[in-house]
Structure 1
Amino acid sequence: MGEPGKASVAPAKVGVIGTGFIGTGLFYSLDRTPDLHYQLGLTRRDPQTVGSVDPERLTDSIARLIDECDVIVECSGDTVYATPLIRQALTAGIPVVTMNSELQVTSGSFLQQFGYLTEGEGDQPGSIAALRRDVVAMGFSPIVYGNVKGFLNPTPTQPEMEKWAALQGISLGQVTSFTDGTKVHVEQVVVANGLGASLAPGGLVGGHTVYDGFKEGAIALAEIADRAGIVMSDFLMASNNPSPGRDRPAPGVFIVATMPDERQRPSLKYYKLGEGPYYVFERPYHLCHFELAKTIRAVVDGDEPLLNNSAHPRYGVSAVAKRDLAAGHVITRGIGGFDLRGEGVAIADDTDHVPIALLTGARLRRSISAGETLRFDDVDLPENEAVEAWLSTLKAVSTSSPEMVAGTPVL
């Protein structure tokens, strides 16, 4: 029974696109939230084979999902698959929360014109945005929006990744994209676009130096940002074996900020934040589906989007060959494969780069050497709405930045 004098409110009906690690975890989480109900999940699999979700609460119909749900969470991890589905939902007036930064950085700027689209708290970009909200509310000025990376190998082998996928209980594609750096580049590009920050000149710098301690590394990034005169989106590689007395970072997010009011410095020293001028705020976890309910509730309550890729993004994620690739080669998988890795780039500097999320199923028109960035002239791309979304975004960005028009690809 509800509290005396209070009318009971029906729980919001949540639809979920995806039945992988995040989607099934969200099913369990929503089982314990009286104000949110897992109404229906959209899957490409036979519902009887999913196992962790009741088959009667699964469907292969996006129309049914839209018709029965108040809000939709997209966590398929597949940009090409999800782009048209999200467009349909937004066009029908259903707000969408994503746990798919790859989609945000490729299709998100195009999709948000159709309705309410936000990244969810729990994945690093959403967690950084949530931490920013708190830091700014206290009067601080962020100078670094940071992600923590525990390991980086730009060219992992398939046997290595199969081993770690089995140990971690996640997919081969996920563990590969985490290891080769693609995921962190995608995430920090979304953060830069969505929070009005910049990448360091020449791209993300976090993978070039391993710092002995977490705070030492965070402040080093702040000094780079200060010298460049920017608010910087980047990541931190810290030692797994720090010297005695040094701190090893947790797999979360952080912000380095300054305090414009000099009168507050004694108080901040008293509160053990140090001498300044840089103050490090750490959120030592990001719990993905466990935290999604916070964003879903914010959507239901009518709050502004937590984070999206912005209508006019400044950065994208290019595809760099991990190995020599022959003409005619078909790329089995863009993100999370063994042909390519992603790197954040300024769109104005490289309008002809192909976003890595678009390259699954692409055929090479010419041979590509290891280390080369793929251009639109290098590949035949499958026709899909995600490609159209990116080209539409480029056109919108070119219109606002005339110097980019000459380099915009036309397929």
Structure 2
Amino acid sequence: MTRIGIAGTGFIGKGIAIEVNRQPELQLTAVLTRRDISKMGDYPFCEALTNSTREFIATCDMVVECSGDIIYGSEVIDQAIKAGKPVVTMNAELQVTTGSYFAKRGFITEAEGDQPGCLASLHENVVDMGFKPLVYGNIKGFMKLDPVLEDMQYWSQRNGVRLDMTTSFTDGTKVQVEQALVANGLGAGIAKDGLLAPESEDINKTGAELAKVADRLGCPISDFVVSPKGPPGVFITAEHDKRHEEALKYYKMGNGPYYTILQNYHLCHLEVIKTIKRVASGGGVLLNNGKEPTVSVAAIPKRALQPGEIIDKGIGSFQVRGEAVEISGNENHVPIGLLVNALITNKVKEGEIITFDDVELPESLAFKAWQETIEKAPINI
């Protein structure tokens, strides 16, 4: 029996708790929350709730972090790693900001469910079949780089998802974060800062076009397509041994040389349980940000920012959005995940990358973790 502790009581955390509780080989022993427990009578496992990180970690064998908060989540993971507990995250934003710091210190893996974990699982599958991945693709149905507050409030209430999360989904920050994690975790690059993000009516055709870019660059790429009619899933476009060309044609995979393998869903908290079981049975890391990342997610102003402005939280704000960038050449950029209670000290034009010269950030473990990561990030000569 593996004792599971979950950090987070939001939409994802609650769903994971329900699934863990259904598994005979798992036991939900603690759920860490910052909310007032006396006001959480509608939570399905009130007896497991705690506000104490120390108590939380002491009573579990594995930590599942899904708080949606990079600063707080990093503090929780730090204590878990120090206690020798493996960590499963459903927090790509945390992974690309502080995940590399923790990957050097203990066991941390992203879970299946969100697109990065689903792509990592699909990667294992296609490689086992002999394919050579060229494109790790995410499928996004809609994007608006500068959405308006009223629209985001409407969709937030309609879908029961936090306003900041809804905004980060819409302005592209979330998918940029996801594909940065995929690049770092699966040894891919990016074709350009901000990604290519082509519009697509045919995933197979667009996958082949992206594969040509990867061939030209000489390495696999991580990217996404905007496809309003596409499924909410992921895809990998790959090559295969030419000796299987006729067989793959017979299997309805097309004429080659590029083949697109599509997973037409991602089911978030319902899939996390697979990674929890993987880790509980001694399986290795599915995906993390790697010890030496090459891609980060920079903060880009949606409008000109003035000295004295405060950014309460960059991810999901109406002041900035995130873009995947190569760390080499952008060493002074501020990862959007660190923009929490940040003071703007210089004017920054719309569309420019915010640098550490432009802001004052509160001290935090997350800030320290990034500083260590950037000091050891590989530099391309």
TM-score strictly above 0.5: yes
Match of 2:234 in 1: 253
Match of 2:26 in 1: 36
Q: Is it true that 1:286 corresponds to 2:266 in the alignment?
A: yes
- How far off is 1:212 after superposition? 2.3
Match of 2:159 in 1: 168
Q: Is it true that 1:14 corresponds to 2:8 in the alignment?
A: no
1:65-214 aligned at under 5 Å gives the runs 65-206=56-197, 209-214=198-203
Match of 2:49 in 1: 58
Which amino acid in 1 is paired with 2:165?
Q
CA distance in structure 1 between the aligned counterparts of 2:213 and 2:104, rounded to whole angstroms = 35
Superposed CA offset, 1:50-79 (max 9, x none): 322322210011111111101010001111
CA distance in structure 1 between the aligned counterparts of 2:45 and 2:282, rounded to whole angstroms = 30
CA distance in structure 2 between the aligned counterparts of 1:236 and 1:74, rounded to whole angstroms = 28
Match of 1:243 in 2: none
CA distance in structure 2 between the aligned counterparts of 1:49 and 1:159, rounded to whole angstroms = 29
Superposed CA offset, 1:230-264 (max 9, x none): 201000112x3xxxxxxx321111100110x2111
Q: Any idea what SS the aligned residue of 1:349 has?
A: coil
- How far off is 1:402 after superposition? 8.5
Match of 1:295 in 2: 275
Greater radius of gyration (CA):
1
Superposed CA offset, 1:10-64 (max 9, x none): x211000110110011111122211112211000001233322322210011111
- How far off is 1:224 after superposition? 1.9
2:353 to 366, 373, 394: 373
Is the contact between residue 105 and residue 186 of structure 1 (CA under 8 Å) also seen in structure 2? yes
CA distance in structure 2 between the aligned counterparts of 1:158 and 1:59, rounded to whole angstroms = 34
Match of 2:316 in 1: 336
Runs of 4+ in 1 over 6 A off after TM superposition: none
Is the contact between residue 192 and residue 325 of structure 2 (CA under 8 Å) also seen in structure 1? no
- How far off is 1:357 after superposition? 0.5
- How far off is 1:229 after superposition? 2.0
Is the contact between residue 252 and residue 284 of structure 1 (CA under 8 Å) also seen in structure 2? yes
Is the contact between residue 300 and residue 323 of structure 2 (CA under 8 Å) also seen in structure 1? yes
Q: Any idea what SS the aligned residue of 1:362 has?
A: strand
Q: Any idea what SS the aligned residue of 2:313 has?
A: coil
Is the contact between residue 87 and residue 114 of structure 1 (CA under 8 Å) also seen in structure 2? no
2:256 to 262, 276, 281: 276
CA distance in structure 1 between the aligned counterparts of 2:221 and 2:138, rounded to whole angstroms = 11
Q: Any idea what SS the aligned residue of 1:361 has?
A: strand
Is the contact between residue 48 and residue 55 of structure 1 (CA under 8 Å) also seen in structure 2? no
Superposed CA offset, 1:179-216 (max 9, x none): 0000101000000001000000344101xx32222222
CA distance in structure 2 between the aligned counterparts of 1:22 and 1:92, rounded to whole angstroms = 25
Match of 1:228 in 2: 217
2:294 to 309, 314, 321: 314
Structure 1 unaligned spans of 5+: 1-10, 241-247, 404-411
Is the contact between residue 176 and residue 194 of structure 2 (CA under 8 Å) also seen in structure 1? no
Is the contact between residue 144 and residue 232 of structure 1 (CA under 8 Å) also seen in structure 2? yes
Q: Any idea what SS the aligned residue of 1:31 has?
A: helix
Is the contact between residue 185 and residue 290 of structure 2 (CA under 8 Å) also seen in structure 1? yes
Q: Is it true that 1:45 corresponds to 2:45 in the alignment?
A: no
CA distance in structure 1 between the aligned counterparts of 2:364 and 2:22, rounded to whole angstroms = 38
Is the contact between residue 177 and residue 337 of structure 1 (CA under 8 Å) also seen in structure 2? yes
- The alignment yields a C-alpha RMSD, in angstroms, of 1.2
CA distance in structure 1 between the aligned counterparts of 2:132 and 2:367, rounded to whole angstroms = 37
- How far off is 1:369 after superposition? 2.0
Q: Any idea what SS the aligned residue of 1:357 has?
A: helix
- How far off is 1:172 after superposition? 0.4
Which amino acid in 2 is paired with 1:256?
T
Superposed CA offset, 1:158-191 (max 9, x none): 1110001111111101110000000101000000
CA distance in structure 2 between the aligned counterparts of 1:28 and 1:402, rounded to whole angstroms = 46
Structure 2 unaligned spans of 5+: none
| Count of aligned residue pairs for this structure pair | 380
Match of 1:215 in 2: 204
Q: Mean Cα displacement is larger for which, 21-30 or 313-322?
A: 21-30
Q: Any idea what SS the aligned residue of 1:331 has?
A: strand
CA distance in structure 2 between the aligned counterparts of 1:24 and 1:48, rounded to whole angstroms = 17
